Amino acid sequence: MAGPAVRRLPVGAESQPGGGTHFRLWAPKRHRVSVVLEAGPGAPAEIGLVPEKGGYFAGMAPEAAPGTHYRYRLDGGKAFPDPASRFQPEGPHGPSEVVDPAAFPWTDEGWQGLTLRGQALYEMHVGTFTREGTWAAAEGELPALADLGVTALEVMPVADFPGRFGWGYDGVSLFAPFHGYGTPDGFRHFVDRAHGLGIGVLLDVVYNHYGPDGCYLREFADQYFCAERRSNWGDTPWFDGPGSRPVREYFLATATCWIGEYHLDGLRLDATQTIRDDSDLHILAELGRCVRAAAPERRTLVINENESQEAALVRPPEQGGYGLDMVWNDDWHHTALVALTGQDEAYFTDYRGGPQEFVSAAKYGFLYQGQWYRWQYQRRGTPAFDLEPARFVHFLANHDQIANLVGGERPDRLSSPGRWRALTALLLLGPQTPMLFQGQEFSASAPFLYFADHHPELARWVEQGRRESLAEFPNLALPEVSATLPAPHDPTAFERCKLDHGERGRPGHREAWLLHRDLLRLRREDPRFNAQRRGGLDGAVLGADAFVLRFFGAAGDDRLLIVNLGRTLHLDPVPEPLLAPPARARWRTLWSSQDPRYGGIGTLDPEAAEMDRTVPNREQPRPRENWRIQGETALVLASEPG
């Protein structure tokens, strides 16, 4: 007589050690459930599942095995795909497929995961990262990212969605990787290869709403949906409603699946400000615990996107926090974009792009920690002075922000080369955790547009909603500009976004590649830049467009990062102690954004560059000017004995 089923997760189809497949489903609104084997091992067959407490149904299919295609028949009527399907080979509307994740031959036994400090993130969309848009093709570019200095990939959502292309934020099969990118084992092979190159992999997941097409959860249980909290993006999960424990278990199981079955190193949680839960233990805190438990043998990270900037998300539980790890810092991006482009419309309204904002962000992370925010007519953020710098993720570009610019143009195309290089240096050498968006490292010519392949009726609604959303930018609302915006469902919009990695070796792109590679090496190898310790730096405004950050070393081996986003700055006198060298030392230029290798014009010594020897009665010449900082330049100065 067969023993009890061996299960890793509370729901889904799981292959058994002795053969066969065990199926388990939560369907409290149904009286009878059977599993219909449509193709592959054991098919055709229909097997009734046994009711269990709490609305679950379960049972064995002795002949079903990896490769079997199946659906659940509900109350003798229609059959639907498994809400916990591990693979949808024909998309969310088709049959589910039995997958055995334990059969994959992993080679990453020595991989220990990711620490909080020392990360250089890279946001990636698998469908446009290469021309082919597959896991296998993306895997081929991993050695170049390792050479660049990337330590962790932040992969945009891959939970299966309808259509041929999309960003992934409308996923509906939350356990199954998108069928268009390849098989589940293709994803596993990608992760295994990344780990072999020293690169971690995190997955962007969407727990704040359900996708509008292909979500069959309502056929099984109404409790999945919260009518009172519908978001701008669609129906929302009900994490604290009556009888909601199985709903929570469902989402926690998705996290366990991605971390455990794909050896992922953590998750990026989308728009956590819209995840509502009044339970004693918030679902986000429980998710963090679930991620840790799913990979006890390696270190994991959980990153938040949180527009309202709630610092409690990344505080430890003993300090009243949720125990997560990092949070995107929109404040830094917004002030950087104002500095780069000079535009301050819509949600850029409350930023000036001035040097004090960059100094404050380097020291404290969020710029808004409870002040009044005009754009939203409310206060923004919470105090975050106690947080480690590494907990803030800084970026000059991400998927949303590029797509919100005219024509999906990358911000380096909307700014001067010198200013872009200077802010890139600030991004990659600052104490917070930097993140690049795919192609940024070689100044890719491909834009990044919003694209989504929906059926015609939904496509019209999505296009209309997209235009209404962008209309908050006055320039994008202009008829002559709005008419140029491509329709999200147009396949050419998707095709235009595909990267050409051959560009990184071509003139006009290779310079950007060298810039990013050298800066990431400097960040990795210089102990002042990789320390990321709270209180390890100070900063000062030097002019209308210039500032200095001083990174303090243990033995006076300090570093200066000087950034000038405006015209050449002449400082005389210089009543700023942060520019003074340590005792019995002098400053030496260690790195410059004006290096011709990066497309610069050459670097002049910023201190005492010209000496006046004509002054009478002086044994030593004196400087004609004190400090001269070239326009649109970033410099790294190192102290040395002298």
> What CATH number corresponds to the domain at position 290?
3.20.20.80
What per-residue confidence (pLDDT) applies to 620?
62
List C-alpha distances in Å: 55 to 27, 28, 49, 86, 216: 6, 4, 12, 21, 17
Same domain? 184 vs 280: yes
Domain end, chosen from 496, 524, 552, is at: 524
Domain end, chosen from 476, 492, 524, is at: 524
Domains in the chain, number: 3
What per-residue confidence (pLDDT) applies to 407?
86
pTM (predicted TM-score)? 0.96
- Cα-flanking dihedrals φ and ψ of residue 455, to 5°? -65, 160
Given 270, 277, 453, 511, which residue is catalytic? 270
Q: What SS3 class is residue 415?
A: coil
- Cα-flanking dihedrals φ and ψ of residue 237, to 5°? -65, 150
Q: Residue 65 and residue 43: Cα distance in Å, rounded?
A: 10
What per-residue confidence (pLDDT) applies to 1?
40
Q: What SS3 class is residue 591?
A: strand
Q: Residue 170 and residue 159: Cα distance in Å, rounded?
A: 8
Q: Residue 632 and residue 594: Cα distance in Å, rounded?
A: 9
Other C-beta atoms closer than 10 Å to the C-beta of 77 total 10
Other C-beta atoms closer than 10 Å to the C-beta of 144 total 16
Angle among Cα 76, 82, 83 to the nearest 5 degrees reads 120
Q: Residue 96 and residue 59: Cα distance in Å, rounded?
A: 17
What per-residue confidence (pLDDT) applies to 94?
98
DSSP bridge partners of 234: 231
Same domain? 471 vs 596: no
Same domain? 293 vs 407: yes
Same domain? 389 vs 437: yes
Is 6 inside any structural domain? no
The string of pLDDT tens digits covering residues 83-110 is 999 999 999 999 999 999 999 999 999 9
Same domain? 611 vs 551: yes
Same domain? 195 vs 125: yes
Q: Dihedral sign, CA of 197, 262, 6, 13?
A: negative
Is 500 inside any structural domain? yes
Is 531 inside any structural domain? no
Is 4 inside any structural domain? no
Other C-beta atoms closer than 10 Å to the C-beta of 280 total 7
Torsion of the alpha carbons at 133, 134, 135 and 140, rounded to the nearest 10: -70
The string of pLDDT tens digits covering residues 51-72 is 999 999 999 999 999 999 999 9
Give long-range contacts, CB 8 A cutoff, 24+ apart: 638-641.
638/557, 638/558, 638/559, 638/587, 638/588, 638/590, 639/553, 639/556, 639/557, 639/558, 639/559, 639/581, 639/582, 639/585, 639/586, 639/587, 639/588, 640/585, 640/586, 640/587, 640/588, 641/584, 641/585, 641/586
Q: What SS3 class is residue 483?
A: coil
Angle among Cα 251, 253, 277 to the nearest 5 degrees reads 30
Same domain? 398 vs 497: yes
The string of pLDDT tens digits covering residues 15-44 is 999 999 999 999 999 999 999 999 999 999
Task: Give the pLDDT mean for 336-363.
Answer: 96
CB neighbour class for 397 (10 Å; exposed up to 12, middle 13-18, buried from 19):
buried
Kindly report the CATH number assigned to the domain that includes residue 580: 2.60.40.1180
Is 113 inside any structural domain? no
Q: Residue 192 and residue 201: Cα distance in Å, rounded?
A: 9
305 belongs to the catalytic site: yes
Same domain? 382 vs 355: yes
90 belongs to the catalytic site: no
Q: Are the beta carbons of 334 and 351 closer than 8 angstroms?
A: yes
Is 312 inside any structural domain? yes
Same domain? 213 vs 295: yes
Is 365 inside any structural domain? yes
What per-residue confidence (pLDDT) applies to 615?
56
Given 123, 160, 265, 305, which residue is catalytic? 305
DSSP bridge partners of 69: 39, 97
Is 423 inside any structural domain? yes
> Would you state the structure tokens that stand for residue 424, as one six-digit string?
């890139």
pLDDT-derived band at 289, boundaries 50, 70, 90? very high
The helix or strand, by DSSP H or E, that contains position 399, with its residue range, turns out to be helix 399-403
What per-residue confidence (pLDDT) applies to 159?
98
Question: Which structural domain, as residue segments, surrounds residue 49?
Answer: 12-103
Same domain? 91 vs 158: no
Other C-beta atoms closer than 10 Å to the C-beta of 570 total 11
Q: Residue 131 and residue 68: Cα distance in Å, rounded?
A: 31
The string of pLDDT tens digits covering residues 224-278 is 998 777 677 788 999 998 989 999 999 999 999 999 999 999 999 999 999 999 9
Domain end, chosen from 455, 489, 524, is at: 524
> Would you state the structure tokens that stand for residue 286, as one six-digit string?
């429980």
CB neighbour class for 129 (10 Å; exposed up to 12, middle 13-18, buried from 19):
buried
Contacts of 167 (CB under 8 A, 6+ apart): 125, 156, 157, 399, 450, 451, 452
Same domain? 35 vs 156: no
The helix or strand, by DSSP H or E, that contains position 401, with its residue range, turns out to be helix 399-403
Q: Residue 70 and residue 86: Cα distance in Å, rounded?
A: 12
Q: Is the backbone peptide bond immediately before 573 cis, with ω within 30 degrees of 0?
A: yes
Task: Read off the amino acid at residue 183.
Answer: T
Kindly report the CATH number assigned to the domain that includes residue 37: 2.60.40.10
Q: Is the pLDDT of residue 631 over 70?
A: yes
Q: Residue 90 and residue 401: Cα distance in Å, rounded?
A: 32
Q: Residue 322 and residue 324: Cα distance in Å, rounded?
A: 6
Angle among Cα 125, 131, 135 to the nearest 5 degrees reads 55
Same domain? 510 vs 548: no
Which residue intervals of 55-183 are DSSP H helices?
126-129, 135-139, 142-148
The string of pLDDT tens digits covering residues 121-176 is 999 999 999 999 999 999 999 999 999 999 999 999 999 999 999 999 999 999 99
Q: Is the pLDDT of residue 189 over 60?
A: yes
Angle among Cα 549, 553, 555 to the nearest 5 degrees reads 145
